[in-house]
Amino acid sequence: MTTVRPVVPIIRNGETFPSGVLHGSTARDIARLTDRGLTAVIVPPEAHADWLDELAELVVTRRLVIARTTLPAASLDDFAHWSRTALADTAKAVSGPLLDDMTGIVEQVMATADVGRVMVRVFTEAPTRRCGFHVDTVPPQAPTIGAVRVYNGPTTEYVACDDVLSMAAFYTYLSRRERLSRMAGAGTCSVRAASSAPGRLIAMDEAPSFLRPCAPVHRVPRDATVYFKHIDVRQHWSPHPVTDVWIHRSPMQGVPRLVLNVSPAQPVPARRGRRPEARG
């Protein structure tokens, strides 16, 4: 007899934060990601800016389209050149503060991780079931602190460390889900046109087997940037502590969103010079 797990609720109250997550505001808060037991620092803005509403309209109506882009080892100058080109046709009232905000996130990751190059992923897309709960990785010996920012639409979902049964249970779930995702062609075909795989994906997403029964799924507050722990790629799939990494996913549906993801692309230099000045 098959055991049916209850569907987990999604918590949208941005005023409460679960185990492993800190509501922060400064570079010093972000630096605390080296603390044991802390997996993410959520940094909201002081207030919602008007330009974000204009940006959201451009993205949702597809007047601003950025194809899925990866800059594998970008310096600050590399990112500035790319972003100026990508936003060249966008009104200055939007492109100016957006460029400043994205650059600030890149600078903060570089400063916190003490690296001069980062991998940057950026795109405008509507959410799909392509990617469920996962953890982000970095190259061998690279610092394990990166960031994600969703500029409009539904934000990133995540789980509390205390609600995860074990990393072994999580990786079993992840392996199975990745196989189903490949079978279903998630994000490229409709549920009606596919076989039973999409339905099984939905069931896995609604009741993740690696969580304790009835554990909630949390959602990042609007406009917030999340600085979070990645995992050295050599430790991926290993039974490391749950608190070594932030387990998260994109929402499964919604309007097109602009998403920025930044992570270290190189190990910390053997000889450290003057540490870059942290923002905030």
**DSSP state letters, 210-253:** TBPTTPPEEEPPTT-EEEEE-EEGGGTTS---GGGS--EE--SS
- Average of pLDDT values for 194-222? 88
- Average of pLDDT values for 46-65? 97
pLDDT digit string, tens, across residues 151-192: 999 999 999 999 999 999 999 999 999 988 888 774 444 444
pLDDT at 193 over 50: no
Which one is predicted more confidently, 47 or 269?
A: 47
What is the fold of 11-264? Jelly Rolls (2.60.120)
pLDDT at 60 over 50: yes
- Average of pLDDT values for 221-227? 97
For residue 12, the model assigns a pLDDT of 54
For residue 38, the model assigns a pLDDT of 94
- Average of pLDDT values for 223-242? 97
Main-chain dihedrals φ then ψ at residue 228, nearest 5 degrees: -150, 160
- What pLDDT band is residue 11 in, cutting at 50, 70 and 90? low
And the tokens for 42? 């959520």
- Average of pLDDT values for 194-211? 85
For residue 130, the model assigns a pLDDT of 83
pLDDT at 47 over 60: yes
Length of the chain: 280
% of the chain at pLDDT higher than 90: 76
Give per-residue burial for 64-98: e unless 16+ CB within 10 Å, then b. bebeeeebeebeeeebeeebeebbeebeeebbebb
The amino acid that residue 151 corresponds to is Y
- Average of pLDDT values for 140-158? 97
For residue 14, the model assigns a pLDDT of 45
Q: What's the mean pLDDT when you consider all of the chain?
A: 89
